[in-house]
Chains A and B, each alone.
Chain A
């Protein structure tokens, strides 16, 4: 019974997975633009994307068909989070000014 309901939602899971990946890519693109131009596109947008894409990717994890998409989206977000942590962490060491 559960399997049947899951199958019914499968299309939804796949779509969620794709949205997760695309959202993650948009985040990466934003990050690239910020790094290359030194223009900080307001961080609010960035968080909005993270809030949006992370749950979508998590949803995608529930179905076997969309699991790879979910993992893909989540790893992009994980990368961005690790990047942010390293960026700010090393920023303190590299730039000695307040």
Chain B
């Protein structure tokens, strides 16, 4: 073989090598590309799994841990006993979930005269089992003090001497209302009474809510010096499907049961209620010892009937606070 042929053979070999190498490089590039895309897609998969998995864990928590129904029950029962003359339509509860939290939105109603009016809209956000946000939008014209103190409740215990209420003004307001209106009035007594006695004394109006003496109302301070607000229960029969007072033989017993339920979730109940403290163990012990007696009630009815009932009970009624007033809706 001469030099020329050798040269040709060498260059042929080189060319073949280069071709092989470029093939090899292409293969490497393709493999790198594939593994890179696999990595990207795997990361994407992981990221997209975060929300569904946390959602699933949230649902499991609300189904088997702190149950969503328990939270709803505590919220509803707390409002029945801490907010005078209110009721809820639980079927209209709007419950929705986001990862690790739950939203509960519902409306609260007030009986004024013979009809229920929307009083408040609640928007509660729970982070797992605890209340993280509470928003209350009120539709009321006369709103109870937002920050309860020991002197500002609308229902006052007979032995409570610390008062801010201008009683003369309230009487004049009630007297001056037109006869074509229905009113809601907060009445406090000189003495403790049973709910039956109050109902018998006021036959022409509806006694809708009774505040119960729990031993702390004399000063509105609990034993450890914390401000407490009135608690009580709805007096009228309530046949709406979801009410805790539905089909009950005695609302008083249901009230006691509710207090026990609330005691188990006291922190939550306090957060939901507008009261600063509930001091439930102390109050439950007092009720068990002294029985259920009322020191003040919320009544509703035509203005004229409310006024005459109050005048008739002049020796019993100590304080009056006029609540909501609506145009005539009385049909009895």
Contact = CB atoms under 8 A, between A and B. Distances in A.
Interface string B76-97: 0000000000000001010111
B90 to A, nearest CB: 8
Contacts of A91: 59
Contacts of A79: 49, 52
B41 A35 contact: no
Contact of B93 (A35, A76, A93, A97): A97
Interface stretch (B21-29, B60-68, B181-189): B60-68
Interface in B36-64: 41, 44-45, 48-49, 51-52, 55-56, 59-60, 62-63
Contacts of A32: 48, 51-52
B41 A87 contact: no
A16 B285 CA distance: 71
Nearest to B94: A97
Contact of B45 (A76, A86, A94, A95): A76
Contact of B95 (A22, A24, A83, A95): A95
A38 B102 CA distance: 13
Interface of B: 41, 44-45, 48-49, 51-52, 55-56, 59-60, 62-63, 67-69, 72, 91, 93, 95-99
Interface of A: 21-22, 24-25, 28-29, 31-32, 35-36, 38, 72, 76, 79-80, 83, 86-87, 90-91, 93-97
17 contacts: A21-B45, A24-B45, A25-B45, A25-B48, A28-B52, A29-B48, A31-B51, A35-B99, A36-B51, A76-B45, A79-B49, A83-B52, A83-B56, A90-B63, A94-B67, A94-B68, A95-B95
